[in-house]
Each structure stands twice: as structure tokens, then as C-alpha cells.
Chains A and B, each alone.
Chain A
Amino acid sequence: MESFRIIGTSPPRFDTPDKARGRAKYAGDYTAPGLLHVALVHAPIPHGILKTVKVPPLPDDCYAFTAKDFAVNLLPSVMNDQPALAEEHIRFLGEPVAIIAAPSAELARGIASSVQVDCTPLPVVDDMRAALLADAPKLFDAGNLCSELHSEKGDVAAGFAASGLVLEDSFELPVQNPAFLEPEACFTRIDDKGRLAIISSTQNAFADRSACAQVLGIPEDQITSKAATVGGGFGGKDGNTSQVFPALVTWKTGRPAKYVFTREENMMCGMKRHSAHIEVKVGFDLGGKLLAYEGRMWMDTGAYAVLGPAVLGLGTEHMTGPYLVPHVKLDTFLSYTNHTPASAMRGFGAPQTAFAIESLMHRAAAALGLSDLEIRRRNILHRGERISMGAPLECDVAFEEALDQFSKSELVREMYERPEAGCGYGLACAMMSCGMGKHVPDTVHVRLERKLGGGYLVRVGLVDIGQGGQTTLGMIAAEALGAELHEIEVRLADSEETSDSGSTAASRMTYICGKAIIEAAEKLKAGQDAAEATVAFPEIAGEDGMHKVFSFIAQCVKLKIDEATGAVKLLRVHNTTEAGRIIHPQMMAGQIFGGIVMSEGYALTEQIRYRGGVPLEKDFSSYVLPTALDAPSMTNDNYDFSEATGPYGAKGVAEAATVALAPAVTAAVEQLCPGLAIKSLPIDREEVLKYAAGGEA
């Protein structure tokens, strides 16, 4: 086995001292003389034709802008469907309609709230399946179908014919809000060279630059862009959130400008996890081996596509879970509705589809008299086997070994050997891809330099959004250069200092930047003073464009149900991961634990519901996130393994922990509630109460 000096240790994070001392600067902390605060005027209805925007007489030094002030009123995206400001058609409640800038935030908001927006209401599209019917009101001339996927592998009819057990059901998954601590924020000013300088809370500083260049109609070289300290992203800051608004104000007025979302704006306009409706039929032989899977899924991308088509793609690709299924037929649809746009959120479509397959694996195990662990063992995917949409799994895979390790964990042994009376236990598994996948550019370009006074500088265009990316990359550089950690400086996400390397998303940063850093370090060690390396994800070379690198996890849950109230209390969660080599075990555990708590919310309390396009959950008093007191006691172990293509054997792991928890929780709840089959999230405690054993009444 290879031995490392730094990889596999848990040194303090590079960003900790500044954060602990309150010195870290978030986008909202920036200011400059003459600052203008930005507020948005939001659409008052979910669907309609915009007639007029009446701005009251403006006080001194206040400004108002509408769609026509943008040179090109269109945000760059896959579908090219979203304006920076609504101009004719309003497609969701709260859609930005006009920009107000004023010397104070209170004044800007006050003016914004007095702007009159007149519109003619149109019938609201409130349901992702009804949206696709011929007589549905249309959000776009081409209709409400944003994208669709159809895939067939083998012969499902033959697969079902050979099956001894066929299970069928449908599942509903809710809208989830990424709910980062720091809301969307951006600061802009004109720099000393006359360029527009953007400092934002973002997952992709270079995309901010190109979005602003497009809407302002100016070349990219007149813009600089960098990420401030970012207080969480989870996918929700991958794309334009707030950036183009202060950018327009600065470009038009020459003044610095700043826009920070309120929490209500984050709830109303921020990008969400897609809700989904999934209909699945699965066939097993009597030994529990999966033979056939036929699935249909609808995802609700809301008013605009954003990254929706890619989310649909990834969800579809993960539909059959970490199992080998010979016969698969998938038909999936992405609908436009008058809801808040949904885009990337940690797991990117996989948590939705995992809920369906894992719930059915649990039921099949019960029907066939197998344990939840055993039925999964019998279906494990191995290297070279074809996943749901038919692409072969080409990375190193030790899911079987990891499951073995998982089965020996304290909690899984407790579940099978000495369960505590009155407690429910459940488990589920998942795989999660790393990298962008299907035809999305997935290349990074890094630069290493010897510093004059000694030590090294690492330049990478991605962002530390709180995950600790700066530290992991620093560790990889130190290891590769034979240097100490304190000799390494890592500069990230700045158009003046680093190169465009795409988005900090898709569990890709450590894997792909790590590889590039090692490659550049070799050149530096050969004597160069500076070296660059460009590295692409393996799927870029593959013809099918499907993901090639996957991490695997298994999670076990122990919980209690309050028999007087139906409330579910998570007591313990154990997680085993196979993510290749672990660079920083403590941060790894942090990722896993954070993912578990995020998914606890998904399973138990979080949802945004819409009635006639109006969200029922508008702030954090109605959108119920778990608190520290709700978090279970958590443990994590990693299967010690190495991925041949990864930096020192690492794969990506930022999202995996969000994929399997919900079905493990529902399995545990069902154990305590005979007869209850949970088909939607969050779990309805009133339903649970009806089934909870030994009711006290």
C-alpha cells in the first residue's frame, strides 16, 4: 500500500482562522464609498402578462431599471429561456420585474414595495403532469415540456415475464430549499481600470462574468469576477442568483452596488430541488435478483429550465440505484410550471429516484423473506456492468467490500443481532456520480508557481463554498510537491488570478483539480518555476457521455416514534462510504454528517407546497429545517480503497450522503408501523400516528 505524509490526515482547514475571528469577507460584507443598495421589484402573481411597471417619483440619488435597460435581456442557460427581468410574460410569483437602487437598503426596499406592477393574470400551471396535457395553459409557445428522456436496455417485457415477484407503486418527492446560511449576495464596482468588478456568493465566478457580459452587451475582458467567502451553496448558487442586478446598476451609474437577498427572497426566488412524481414497476426472481425495472418520472423545473434538463438526466441515470438490472425501460419528463425555478441541489436528481428504488427494495426484501442487506448484496453493481441507461461502470468499485464493512458496523449489528425494543431500524444504499456527465464541458486548468520567498502558489478557478476545497487541494499540492502544508497558498475563483474551470458542483472539485495539481506538480519538481495542467473528466472521452466515476454509500438508521404524537425521532445514523481514498477524514465526516441532517429535513419536515402557483412556505418559521437538537448521533466509516484514475485514489463525495437517508428512514418507520407504506416525503406524522403500534388511546 502507498504511504502518504499528508493525504489521510486531518489538518486544520485553511479558512478556519479567518472564519473563527470574523475576518472572512462574505459578498454582503463588501462596501465602498458611494455604494448603492439594490432591491428588486417582484412579480405579484405567478402567471400573467406584464402590462406596466409604474415607478413612483424617485428621491434624489435613487434609480430604477427595467428589462429594456439590459442590452440582452436573456440569461445564458441550456434552454435560453430565462430573461434577467420579466418583460412581457410573468412565469412565477416573485419573478424579478424591476431593479431599484438607493443609498440605503431600507430606502431601496421601500421604493421597490411601492412600485406598481400591473398584469393580466393567466391560468396557472400548478401540476407537473397536468402541465403536459394538450389543453394546459402554456408557459412557452413550444409548450410546457422542457425536456424528456427515453431509454431502453434489454427487454423489460421478457424481464417481467420471468419475474417471480413484481412490485409497482408511485412516489411523490417535495420541493426542497438549499437553505444555505448565507443568502444569495453580490457586490459590484468599477475598478481602477474602468472594468466591472464582480464579487459574489457563487459556485462559479466565471459563469458570473459571462452572464454579466451577455446581459450588459460588453466583452468579457471588461469584467473581472471573483468569489467572496461563500456561506454554503449546495447547488443553489450554481448560476445567476443575484449577480446581474447590481452589475447593471454599477454599469449604468458607475457606482458600487450591492444586493443581498432577504430570507423571504431566498425562499421565493432562490433555486430549489426539483419535486418529482415517479411511477415504478420492478421485477425480481424469487432469489431476490432484480430482473426488470420500468420507470416513468416527471420532474417540475418550475418557470425556467436553469439546470433542470441535466438534473432530469442525472436522476434518470441513477434511477435503478447501485444495482445491476438486466432489463430497464425509462421514460422521464421535465415540465415547466408556474413554480419557483428548480435547478441544482446536492444529489442533483438522485435523491428523488433513490427514494423510489430503495423503497421497493425494502418491500421486496420483506416479500421474499430476505434481509434488507441481503437483497442489496444479491444485486450489487460491479465494474464493467451496465447501469440503468446502459453505460458500463468503468471506475474502480468496491461496493461489495464496503457493504461487508457496513454490515459489521455497530449499528447494523445492533439492527440484526440485538435491536432495542421499541426502536425502528432501516437501511438503504446509493451510488452518486462525480463529474458533470452528459455532454457538459468538464475540464479544469490549474497553475502552480514557486513563490519568490519560498513556498508554492496553487491557482484554481473553482470555489471553496464551505466544503473545504481550499484545504483538500492544498493537501494534494503539498503531498505532490513534497512540501509542508504551511508552504502552500491556494488562490481560488478569481478571473484575474485563475482560469475558468467550470462550476464547483457535481462532486468534481477534489477529483479533477487534484489530478491537475499532481500533474503540474510533477513539472514543477522537474525544475520549472511555474507549471500548468489541464485535465478532463473521463466521461468526456467516452462516446455515450455518461458518468464514469461513482461513489457508493450505505446508511443505517435507528429511530423512535412517539406513540402519542406520531413524531419520528432519529436516534442514530451510521454511514459507510466507498469514495476511493479519503483525503481529509474529518472533513469527509463533516460532509457526511451535513448530508445526513440535510436529508433528515427532506425525510421529515422540509417542503414547499404551491397552491395556484403561490408557495405556502415563505420563510423559516413555516419551512421547517432540523435544528441541532433534532440531529441524530452520527458515525461514519470509509472503505479504504483507491480509484485508479483519482488523485491519490480519491473519488468525489460531496453529494453522496444526501441520496440514501430518506428511504432508510421510511423503512425504519414502516418497521414500527405495520401496514404503513410511505410513498411521499416529508413523512406525514398524522399518517404515522394512525399506524404506530401500541397506540396509547
Chain B
Amino acid sequence: MGAKLYRPRTLDEAQSLFKECCGVYMAGGTVLLVDRRHGAIPDADLISLEAIPELTGIRETTTGLSIGALVTMDALEASETVRRRAYPLWQAAREVGGPQVRNRATLGGNLCSATPSADAAPPLLAMDASLTVAVPGGEERRIPLRSFFTSFKKCALRPGEIVTRIELPAPPDSDGRFYKVGRRSALAISCLTLAVVRSGNTWSVAVGAAAPTPVWCPETSAALSSENADRIDRACAALQREIAPIDDRWGTASYRRTVAERLLRRALRELEA
């Protein structure tokens, strides 16, 4: 382990370092350092993003929330604003790992690691969040989260890019639910997650750990938002088409399908009550 740890104070500095030393960005390190220990990634130098001010803080905007990529799960859980305006995200943050992990794990790292079971992804997909990205050279671009996850553990970031903030619309009349199914009550890798958000008659559904990436389910969402008498059954049928679960140690594909549907029905009962 001859790797160095850098602690740049600006985005510029971080991105120059990235170019010079071929290092990797590190937020909380809870994915990165575990992967390194398992030899899954090379022992490159580490560029910590922790000291860059643009990446911190939770702010209310005119349309919703702007959350720094370096905000930890702990901070999300402790935020009254997040609880009030983005309830499913607050629920998801509370269920990540255990206290020690939540103390380090960041929202940006959760999304950038792009695992199918990233718990913050389904609520943010359902809420139609987008990412502000610092492009090397000083430019900025926006990536809708719904087009961010490209394949298993891959995302739309180009080399050197840094996610600075997560912007999420949060209409005042919106409400939502997040459910996580794991093998135990804490420190559980998700077997399935589901987030449902409702704003008036507009519904939005996203599912985690049931496809190579977390998925937003447009057909399911549209079916629920329609006025059809059988909208729920249609939504459940659409849901089955929009997820593509596999068998693994945490559950079989058919179990995941059953659970996804039951959780969707549970969400509807709770949100329509």
C-alpha cells in the first residue's frame, strides 16, 4: 500500500490532482476502501473530497432541496428539512448500514457507486432528482438521475467529473414511502427496495436491487396516475415488466417480484389512507 491521500480544498485543485496522479475520488470511503481491501480496484492514490465547501450542506430552494454530494446519511437522518420535504429519502438514509457507516457514507458516494442496491437511489429516482456535475476545466453540467445509471455499477460520469450537488423537486403537496427488505434490521444489503412518491394524482415509483441498476418505473407510475378503475392491477402488471430481478444469495427473482408487488400495494394503502 504505497497510496497517498490528498485533501484538496477546491474543485479545481481536486480535478488537477485527478489528472496528475491518476488517483480516485473518495467521499466517505465506505465503498471504495472495502473494494480496495478485496482487491477489486487498484491501490491508486486517494483524492478526498471532504474539504471542498461546494459539496456540503442541505438547502431549501424555490422548487425543492439542494443537497451537497458530501452530505452523510447521518446528516440526512438528522435533518428536519429532509424529513419534511423528502420523507422517502429520509427513510432510506436511516436504513443505510449501521451508525458507524451512516456517519461516513455520503449521498454522492451512494449514487456514484451505482450499485443496484444503493438505498438512496429509488427515492431520488421517484422524486426525479438531478445531479450537478463539475466538469474538469470549470464547466458544470446537469444529469437527470433517471439517465445517470447506465449499467451494473456504472454511471454517466466521465473521468474527472465530480458530482457536487443533488437537486430534487419537492412540491409542497408531495408525500412518499420507502421500503427496504434486507435479511436483518441493520447492516443489511438490500434484497429489494421500493420508493413511491405521490404529488396530487401524479405517482412515481422506483425499485432497487431488482435489475442491474436501480430503476425508475415510468409505466407503473403512469398506470397509477391514470383514472382507470383497475389502475392498481395495471400498475402491478407494469411493475413486473419494468423490473428484471435475478436469483442471488439475498433472494430469488420470483421472491423479489412478489415482494415488489406487495410493497407497492402497501405503499398505496398507506399513501391513499
Binding site for B on A (CB under 8 A): 106, 563-565, 567, 605, 616, 621-622, 624-630, 686, 689, 695-697
Q: A259 vs B51: C-alpha distance in the bound complex, in angstroms? A: 39
Residues on B with C-beta less than 8 A from A622 are 249
Partner of A605, one of B184, B252, B265, B266: B184
Contact A565-B249, Cβ < 8 Å, known A605-B184, A624-B184, A627-B185: no
Task: Pick 29 A–B contacts, CB within 8 A, sort by A.
Answer: A564-B262, A564-B265, A564-B266, A565-B181, A565-B259, A565-B262, A565-B263, A567-B181, A605-B183, A605-B184, A621-B189, A622-B249, A624-B183, A625-B184, A626-B184, A627-B98, A627-B185, A628-B186, A629-B184, A629-B185, A629-B186, A630-B186, A686-B255, A689-B258, A689-B259, A695-B262, A696-B262, A696-B265, A696-B266
Docked CA distance A563–B252 (Å): 17
B128 at the interface (CB under 8 A from A): no
Interface size class of B (residues with CB under 8 A): 20 to 34
B259 near A564: Cβ-Cβ < 8 Å: yes
Q: Across the interface, do B189 and A689 meet the contact criterion of CB distance under 8 Å?
A: no
- Asked if B3 CB lies within 8 Å of chain A CBs, one says no
Give the CA-CA distance A482 to B263 in the complex, in Å: 64
Give which listed residue, B181, B184, B255, B262, contacts A697 with CB less than 8 A: B262
Q: Determine how close the nearest CB of chain A comes to the CB of B71; give it in whole angstroms.
A: 24
Q: Complex: how many Å from CA A565 to CA B250?
A: 12
* Chain A residues whose CB sits within 8 angstroms of the CB of B185 once the complex forms: 627, 629-630
Knowing A624-B183, A627-B184, A627-B186 are in contact, say whether A697-B265 is a contact too (CB < 8 A).
Answer: yes
What separation, in Å, do the CA atoms of A629 and B99 have in the docked complex?
12
B residues less than 8 Å from A697 (CB atoms): 258, 261-262, 265
Chain B hits for A630, CB < 8 A: 184-186
Q: Are B249 and A616 in contact (CB under 8 A)?
A: yes
- A601 nearest in chain B by CB position: B184
B1-18 vs A, CB cutoff 8 Å, 1 = contact: the mask equals 100000000000000000
Q: B259: which A residues are within 8 A, CB to CB? A: 564-565, 689
Interface presence of B187 (CB below 8 A): yes
Instruction: Please give the distance in Å from A622's CB to the nearest CB on chain B.
Output: 6
Contact of B171 with A by CB under 8 A: no
Do residues A686 and B184 form an inter-chain contact, with CB atoms below 8 A? Answer: no
Q: Is B169 an interface residue (CB 8 A)?
A: no
Report how far A621 CA is from B183 CA in the complex, Å: 11
Q: DSSP class of A's interface residues: helix, strand, loop or mixed?
A: loop
Give the contacts of B242-263 with A (CB-CB under 8 A): 249, 251-252, 255, 258-259, 261-263
Which of B179, B183, B189, B265 gathers most chain A CB within 10 Å? B183
A415 to chain B, nearest CB (A): 24
Residues in chain A near residue B179, CB distance under 8 A: 564
User: Which residues of B are found within 8 Å of A626, using beta-carbon distances?
Assistant: 184
A627 touches B262 (CB 8 A): no
User: Please, which residue of chain A has its CB at the minimum distance from the CB of B265?
Assistant: A696
Chain A residues with CB under 8 A of B183: 605, 624
CA distance A567 to B263 in the complex (A): 13
Query: Using Cβ atoms and an 8 Å threshold, which residues of chain A touch B184?
Result: 605, 624-627, 629-630
Closest chain-A Cβ to B273's Cβ sits at a distance in Å of 14
Q: Which residues of B contact A (CB under 8 A)?
A: 1, 98, 179, 181, 183-189, 249, 251-252, 255, 258-259, 261-263, 265-266
Chain A residues with CB below 8 A from B181, complex form: 565, 567
CA distance A106 to B43 in the complex (A): 14
Given contacts A627-B186, A689-B259, A696-B262, 8 further A-B contacts (CB under 8 A): A564-B179, A564-B263, A565-B262, A621-B189, A624-B183, A627-B98, A627-B185, A697-B262
Q: A686: nearest residue on chain B (CB-CB)? A: B255
Residues from chain B with a CB closer than 8 A to the CB of A605 are 183-184
Q: Which residues of B contact A567 (CB under 8 A)?
A: 181
Of all chain A residues, which has the CB nearest B262?
A564
The answer on a CB contact under 8 Å between A686 and B252 is yes
Contact of B255 among A563, A616, A689 (CB under 8 A): A689
Q: How far is the CA of A90 from the CA of B116 in the complex (A)?
A: 39
Known: A564-B263, A697-B258. A106 touches B186 (CB 8 A): no
- Chain A residue with the shortest CB-CB distance to B267: A564
Question: A422 CA to B98 CA in the complex, in Å?
Answer: 29
A85 to B189, CA, bound (A): 37
- Residue numbers in B under 8 Å from A624 (CB-CB): 183-184, 188
Chain B residues with CB under 8 Å of A689's CB are 255, 258-259
The 8 closest A-B pairs by CB, nearest first: A629-B185, A564-B262, A627-B186, A629-B186, A686-B255, A624-B183, A696-B262, A630-B185
B1 to chain A: closest residue by CB: A106
Please give the distance in Å from A360's CB to the nearest CB on chain B. Answer: 28
Residues on B with C-beta less than 8 A from A564 are 179, 259, 262-263, 265-266
**CB distance A686 to B261 under 8 Å?**
no
Contacts of B98 in A (CB 8 A): 627
In the bound complex, how far is the Cα of B249 from the Cα of A624, in angstroms?
Answer: 11
Residues of A within 8 A of B265 (CB): 564, 696-697
Which residues of the other chain, A, contact B187 by a CB distance below 8 angstroms? Answer: 627
* A563 close to B262 (CB less than 8 A): yes
Determine the residue in chain B with the shortest Cβ distance to A682: B183
User: CA–CA, A695 to B262, complex, Å?
Assistant: 8
Q: Which residue of B lies closest to A562 (CB)?
A: B181
Q: How many angstroms from the CA of A103 to the CA of B251 in the assembled complex?
A: 44
A391 to B11, CA, bound (A): 78
Chain A residue nearest to B254 in the complex (CB):
A686
B166 to chain A, nearest CB (A): 27
Q: Considering only CB atoms, which chain A residue lies closest to B261 in the complex?
A: A697
Q: What is the CB-to-nearest-CB distance from B54 to chain A, in angstroms, rounded to a whole number?
A: 33
Q: Closest CB-CB distance, B105 to chain A, in whole Å? A: 15
The distance in angstroms between the C-alpha atoms of A625 and B183, with both chains bound, is 9
Complex formed: what's the CA distance from A563 to B179 in Å?
Answer: 13
Q: Closest Cβ of chain B: how far from A523's Cβ, in Å?
A: 53
Residue among A106, A565, A622, A627 with max Cβ neighbours from chain B (10 Å): A565
Chain A, residue nearest B236 (CB):
A697
Bound Cα distance A628, B263 (Å):
25
Q: How far is the CA of A625 from the CA of B98 in the complex (A)?
A: 14
Tell me, in angstroms, the Cα distance from A616 to B259 when the chains sit together: 24
Could you say which residues of chain A place their CB within 8 Å of the CB of B186?
A: 627-630
> Once bound together, how far apart are the Cα atoms of A454 and B237, in whole Å?
81
**Residues of A close to B262: CB separation below 8 A:** 563-565, 695-697
Nearest A-chain residue to B187, judged by Cβ? A627
Complexed CA–CA distance, A686 and B191 (Å): 12
A150 to B185, CA, bound (A): 44
Residues of A within 8 A of B252 (CB): 686
What residues of chain A lie closer than 8 Å to B251, measured between beta carbons? 686
Instruction: Give Cα A621 to B188, complex, Å.
Output: 8
In the bound complex, how far is the Cα of B186 from the Cα of A630, in angstroms? Answer: 8
> How far, in angstroms, from A626 to B184 measured CA to CA in the complex?
7
Chain B residues near A106 (CB-CB < 8 A):
1
Closest B residue to A631 by beta carbon equals: B185
**In the complex, what distance in Å separates the CA atom of A627 from the CA atom of B263?**
24
**Nearest Cβ in chain B — how far from A45, in angstroms?**
20
B32 to chain A, nearest CB (A): 16
A697 to B185, CA, bound (A): 24
Give Cα distance in the complex from A563 to B269, angstroms.
14
In the assembled complex, the Cα of A686 lies from the Cα of B262 at a distance in Å of: 13
Residue numbers in B under 8 Å from A625 (CB-CB): 184
- On chain B, the residues within 8 Å of A628 by CB distance are 186
- Looking at the assembled complex, report how far the CB atom of B143 sits from the nearest CB atom of chain A, in whole angstroms: 30
What is the CA–CA distance of A398 and B19 in the complex, to the nearest angstrom? 76
Provide the residues of chain A in CB contact with B249, threshold 8 Å.
616, 622
B263 proximity list for chain A (CB < 8 A)? 564-565
Question: Please, which residues of chain B bring their CB within 8 A of the CB of A627?
Answer: 98, 184-187
Q: Which residue of A lies closest to B266 (CB)?
A: A564
Chain B residues whose CB sits within 8 angstroms of the CB of A686 once the complex forms: 251-252, 255
CB distance from A9 to the nearest CB of B (A): 35
A296 to B183, CA, bound (A): 33
A689 to B258, CA, bound (A): 9
Residues of B within 8 A of A563 (CB): 262
Interchain CA distance A106-B259 in the complex, whole Å: 44
Question: Shortest distance in angstroms between B229's beta carbon and chain A's nearest beta carbon?
Answer: 19
**In the complex, which residue of chain A has the Cβ closest to the Cβ of B251?**
A686
